[in-house]
Structure 1
């Protein structure tokens, strides 16, 4: 009997040791799985937080672009603020009107064509091609010189609704470029050639900035008869020519969906942000010689060559 008891105790100790060993292994495996799951959950939480931050930033940008005090357009009409429009006459005068066309005030300039955005600070900035300068007009209509473009003629100007930078299309003697300045007039960037060293622009008279951060400049050249689009760092993305000899791009703007609207004196072309043609918004039967377009929230304002309405 003693031998039997000794044998049973030995078997019990062996079984106990086996159970403890298996239990330990199982606990270690469970701990490993738990740590892995916690790591995945933490990563997912971080991803969700980043996505929430991204959505909040996107919402802020969308609110900026849907705010009626911020619009995207250049050339004949480029400045809209609180129900008032700044329009450039063919002789260079800047005229402010309400949305019914009633004249509120007029500023006489020395330039023949004055391109003019309203900045984020509410100042009106316009080009003076004769003096080769950019001038600033405050809310009290005090005109001061903002910066000189030296020997280069400033054709057009756009005030960024993303960061307040100024994008200026300029050129002389066959050389043309788009230069970025900060709010204080410091030169930040020059966009002039594609990756093959070919000039992007000939006469960049019209310029705007899309809501898509990849698109920095959208310039339509009368001589090249093309809409040229580059990204934020100046890399050429595409050129739109409509594949027609009658295409003469003039006024240009974008909407909150990243669409690009282009006047060509005959029609208004609607493109997506990658330059794909979508449709004609306006035809010659609707508007005679459209030269400028302005998108404000859900309304499109048109100016034509004959009636300037």
Structure 2
């Protein structure tokens, strides 16, 4: 569907889907939009630079729903779409063709999964996930293997949102302190 244009404004029609997260691909300029539908259903839709819908990611190859919600979304250096699904308490990673590569539910017991919010990736392929219930940020490799906790409850208070900037510093938005804190992530991780 072509976007509507007025002056310098462009609109993408999502029809009866509500957009709740958005990401611009550093790989090809595509726009990834995480959406939900009243009455159930969640998906990620990929639009090209012209605003044309080119892909919908909603179900796996067995026809099972991939997402409960698509709160935060990002893309990895290898083109995987990484989504935090708070409702299902999991991180869902799909490849370029929309097939599930892996899911991550945290390092806790199966009854107490990670409630992921912010999610970002860095230049070396790590996936960073905020866990506001345990006041920490988890780091995964690009294949979903847990590596460590970057930041801990001593350093954070209710981390919700994440950003990795051009210098690979991590910015963490914390809801209980109303602060954004910047960490020298890669220097600290490899020290």
Task: Name the Cα RMSD after superposition.
Answer: 1.9
Contact kept in structure 1, 2:90 and 2:113, CA below 8 Å: no
Aligned residue in 2 for 1:299 = 169
Q: CA deviation at 1:298?
A: 3.2
Q: Whose strand proportion is higher, 1 or 2?
A: 2
Q: Whose helix proportion is higher, 1 or 2?
A: 1
Matched, 1:282 2:151: yes
Q: CA deviation at 1:169?
A: 0.6
Matched, 1:257 2:140: no
Give TM-score scaled by structure 1 length. 0.52
Query: How do 1:1-309 and structure 2 match up within 5 A?
Result: 144-172=9-37, 173-213=39-79, 215=80, 217-244=81-108, 245=112, 247-265=114-132, 266-296=135-165, 297-306=167-176, 307-309=178-180
3-state DSSP class of the match of 2:138?
Answer: strand
Give TM-score scaled by structure 2 length. 0.83
Uncovered stretches (5+) of structure 1, i.e. residues with no partner: 1-133, 137-141
Q: 1:99-130: per-residue Cα shift (whole Å, max 9, x none)? A: xxxxxxxxxxxxxxxxxxxxxxxxxxxxxxxx
> In structure 1, how many angstroms separate the alpha carbons of the residues matched to 2:168 and 2:33?
27
Contact kept in structure 1, 2:47 and 2:54, CA below 8 Å: yes
> In structure 1, how many angstroms separate the alpha carbons of the residues matched to 2:8 and 2:118?
26
Matched residues, number: 169
Q: CA deviation at 1:144?
A: 3.0
> In structure 1, how many angstroms separate the alpha carbons of the residues matched to 2:118 and 2:101?
20
Q: 1:13-61: per-residue Cα shift (whole Å, max 9, x none)? A: xxxxxxxxxxxxxxxxxxxxxxxxxxxxxxxxxxxxxxxxxxxxxxxxx
> In structure 1, how many angstroms separate the alpha carbons of the residues matched to 2:44 and 2:24?
13
Q: CA deviation at 1:277?
A: 0.3
Label 1:229 to 1:246 Cα distance change in 2 as closer, same or farther (>3 A). closer
Q: CA deviation at 1:292?
A: 1.1
> In structure 2, how many angstroms separate the alpha carbons of the residues matched to 1:235 and 1:182?
19
Label 1:210 to 1:221 Cα distance change in 2 as closer, same or farther (>3 A). same
